[in-house]
Each structure stands twice: as C-alpha cells, then as structure tokens.
Chain A
Amino acid sequence: MELITPDFGLLFWMTLAFGIVFFILAKFALPVINGMLKKREEEITNALELAERTHKEMEQLQVDNEALLHQAREERDKILNEAKLISDRFIEEAKVKANEEKDRIIENAKETIENEKMAAATEIKNQIADISIKVAEKIIGKTLESDKEQMDYINRLLQEIEERTQK
C-alpha cells in the first residue's frame, strides 16, 4: 500500500526541488542554449544561402568573362586587321614614293649628264677651235688678225664637221 500512496514529505521536497531545478534551468541555462542553437541554425541557413548566391554569382561571372573574352578577341582581330591595312597602305605609299624619287633622281642624273655632256662638248669644241687656230697659226705662220673673225670661221667649220658626223 505504501508503494502507491504518495508521501507528503516527498511531495513537498519534490515540488521544491523540481521547482528550483526548473527555475534555474529556465532562467540561466535554457535561454543561452536555445538562443545559441537558433543563432547557429540561422548562421547555417545564411551560410548555405550565401554559398548558393556565390555559386550563382560565379556562374554569372563566368558567363560575363566568356563574353568579355570574346569581345576582346574580336577587338584584337579588328585592331590587327586595321593595323595590317595601314601598314599595307604605308608600304604601298612608300613604294610609290620611292619609285617617284627614283625616277626623279634618274631624271636629274640624266639632265646633269646631258648638261655635263653639253658642257664637255662645248669645252672640247672650244679647245679644238683653239688647237685648230694654233695649228693653223703654225701652219700659216702668222697670227690671224681678228680673233673674232677666226673664231667664227672655225666654229662654222666645226659646225659643218658636226653636221657631217651627224649625217
């Protein structure tokens, strides 16, 4: 019978002890534990969300990068092409210029040569005239009177000779 009869003393102490335990736990231990558990769960949820977001961002970034790379490649090709065109044009121009220069120089040279040739020819003619006069003086034995007259004569002779050679 004692087994199933609650004893008053025990009821009293049990109420007191359990009440105190309940109070201490509910006041000092459980709020800390619950708060931290909740905080940790939030933390984990946040971390997972962040990971998800980062993953998505990474994917987006990768796509962006791909596009950027593509664009850069196109840009590069364009620039290269342009550069090639410009350089080609330059080369072409340079070639043309060089040719012109060359032609001009050659022309100049030809002119100079012609002039030189003419000068030389005149010189030779003069000398020949001189020599001819001297020869003629020697041959004639006397100095011809008028230099001018003589020179004209010789020149005429030379002209004739020239004409003859040219014929």
Chain B
Amino acid sequence: MRNSISFVRKYILNLITCLFVISFTILTPVKVFANDNGHETEEKFDAGELIFDHILDSYDWHICTWKGNHISVYLPIIVYSEGEFYCFSSKNFHHEHQYHAMNKHGDAVVFEIAEDGKYKGKVVRVLEDGTQIRPLDISITKTVCGLFISCTLLVVVFLLVAKGYRERGEKAPKGIQALVEPIILYVRDDIAKPNIGEHYERYFPYLLTVFFFIFFNNLLGLIPFFPFGVNITGNIAVTAVLALFTFVITNFMGSKHYYEDIFNTPGVPWWLKFPLPLMPVIELVGCFIKPFVLAVRLFANITAGHIVVLGFICMIFILGEMSAMAGAGMSVLSVLLAVFADCLEVLVAFIQAYVFTLLSSIYFGMAAKHS
C-alpha cells in the first residue's frame, strides 16, 4: 500500500517536472522568432503567424535559431510531375528561391515554394510563362517525419510489450508491459466489449491500434523537443485517414440488417420513404457524416490545445513589445497558464483517443448487429 502511494507521488512529481520543462522549452521558438533573420529587425511580433507556423506543415523542421542562424532539419521533397518523380532536399529553397531540375528530355523544370496565392507555402512548378501548377506532392514533410517517428516508437513499444508477454507468460506484467496493460484492458473491457458485443475480437486489433496511435501522437505532440512536438493528430489529413479506416471497416463489416436500416428504415411512416426517399437519404448521409465528425473532432481538439498553449506563451511577447516590464510580469502568469493548459492537454490527449475509439466501436457495433 505504502509502495503504491510512493509510486503515485513519484509519478505526479515527474509529471509536474515534465510539464515545467515543456512549458519552458516552448519559449524557444518564440525567442527565435523575436530576432528572426539574424538582424535586430523592427519586425512586429505576429502571434498568429507564429502559431500557424507550428500548427501547419512545412518542408523543413525548424529546431531553433542560435545567434541568428536557423538550425533546421531539411527534409526531402518528392514531387511527381508529367510522368516523372523529382526528389531533392528542401535545403535548396533555403539558399535560393527556386530549384532547377532537368526532366528526361533535358528540359529545365523549375520548382519553388509559392509565397502567396492558392498554393501559399507549398511546392509548385513554375512554367515558362510564369504560371504556377501544383505537382503531385508526396514530400516527407515535418508532419510525415513526425508521423514516422511516432509510428516507429509505437511499433517498438508494442513489440517490447509482446516480448514481455512472451517471456513472462502468465506471470504479472512488469515494466513497459505493466504500463500498457491496463490501457489495453481498458480498451477491451470498457470500450470494445460493451459496444460491440461478442464479436468484439474481430475489431479489437484496429481499436487498439487506433487508440494507441492517437494517444501516442497526442502526447508526443505536447513534447516541444526536436524529434517530437509535431502537430500530427491536429492535422486534418491525419485524422481524415483515421476516420476513413473506421468508415471502411464499418461499412465492410456491415450486416444485411445494417443496410436494411439505412435504405428501408423500420419504424418510420412510409411517406418519409416514398415517393421522396427522405429517410434513406438522411441515413446515407449520416454514414458519411459520422466519420467526418470523428476526423473534425480530433483535429479541432488537438489543434485548439496547441493554439491555447502557444497563445499563452505569445502573450509574453505581445506585452513585451509594449514594455519590458509588462513582458517580464506576464511571463510568470503565462508560464502558469501554459502549465495549466498543458495539464489539460494531457487529459485531452487521453480523452480524444478514448472518444475516437469509443465512437468507432459504437459504429462497428451498430453495423455488426444481427437481430
């Protein structure tokens, strides 16, 4: 009993320390921004731009700026245009505005990052007449890179856990295995089983993967150090793919009864189905709205969390521009608020993973029911 109390105390202490570290290191990119370009420019501090720089994707991974020099990891750009792949480092855009490549006919192909317009911030191909067209872009961007890192971590963790089970057999779990096991049991006993029923085992691997994928990425997104801190689950493309998986599984595993419910909804008056098929249309649209809502909910929650934390930190610099004293005074309050927001985000990280998995399993349960 005493052991478990001391464990909990240690855990809470560690958590608080981590959160403090997190909120202090969040300051780094902001300081960097304050004297961006390496000069003492009189550039106005733009909190919105800073925040969106963090929230959105980019072709390089900016770590920090030291004495006016950007320290970034330049990621590869991979584009497909007119039957040919072009692969080059985004470092090329750092030195020069444009990148000149050659296609197989020996003609020059020019790429640049659009500064404004429809494709702002994206790699575009500049045609000879100066028009910009967007090639098929499968670059390893910051988000993709962060995604790979968190996926690797997830796989490593789970293989370790599986190894733990293989080695320890039916004995009590230990180490990382003991950390993950309660969550696995939680997903199984409180999410999958009650919502899907007896056939839950068919969906369990997916639910578990989705839960841990979201949970891992949410948590790693809160760590502001280099290999982490990417806004992955706060990216609509990522959440859209997750929702798409749920959508596909739901409708693929859907029973006859489920489709009957959609196209010939029982228990509604006939004039809602004929001549105007109002109910079927509503039901059918509902099929698509469900995963759409899943994607938007996760994206909005995580993005909002990142915006709030960064917003609190930016307040220091907004006030600091007015007077140094105000900025200094605000820093104490801002850090406290950011710590609070980070604590909240840790909670949200879990809740959103839970909600996504819960709703997925409810949809599976509805689609799989037979009677």
Contacts and interface: CB of A to CB of B under 8 A. Distances in A.
Given A3-B52, A32-B165, A11 B240 contact: yes
Contacts of B209: 18, 21-22, 25-26, 30
Contacts of A4: 236
Contact of A9 (B52, B139, B170, B241): B139
A37 interface: yes
Given A18-B241, A18-B245, A30-B205, A8 B136 contact: yes
Given A30-B204, A33-B184, A39-B170, A2 B237 contact: no
Interface in A4-61: 4-15, 17-18, 20-22, 24-26, 28-30, 32-34, 36-37, 39-40, 43
Contact of A3 (B141, B185, B204, B303): B303
A39 to B, nearest CB: 6
Contact of B155 (A8, A9, A10, A24): A24
B316 interface: no
Given A10-B144, A10-B235, A25-B208, A18 B136 contact: no
A2 B213 contact: no
B162 A28 contact: yes
Contacts of A36: 165-166, 169-170
B141 A10 contact: yes
A15 B237 CA distance: 10
B148 interface: yes
A32 B173 CA distance: 13
B140 interface: yes
A15 B213 CA distance: 13
Interface residues of A, number: 33
Nearest to A6: B237
B154 interface: yes
B57 interface: yes
A32 B159 CA distance: 10
A7 B161 CA distance: 34
Contacts of A28: 159, 162
Contacts of B205: 22, 25-26, 30
Contacts of B170: 36, 39-40, 43
B147 A13 contact: yes
Interface in B147-187: 147-148, 151, 154-155, 158-159, 161-162, 165-166, 169-170, 181, 184-185
Contacts of B162: 28-30, 32-33
B65 interface: no
A25 B158 contact: yes
Contacts of A26: 205-206, 209
B184 A37 contact: yes
Interface in B46-99: 52, 55-57, 78
Contacts of B138: 8-9, 12-13
Nearest to B244: A15
Contacts of B313: none
A150 B164 CA distance: 140
Given A10-B237, A21-B151, 13 more contacts: A11-B241, A13-B138, A17-B148, A18-B213, A22-B205, A24-B159, A25-B158, A26-B206, A29-B159, A29-B162, A30-B204, A30-B205, A37-B185
Interface of A: 2-15, 17-18, 20-22, 24-26, 28-30, 32-34, 36-37, 39-40, 43
13 contacts: A2-B120, A3-B52, A6-B240, A8-B137, A18-B245, A20-B151, A21-B154, A24-B158, A25-B155, A29-B155, A30-B158, A30-B205, A33-B165
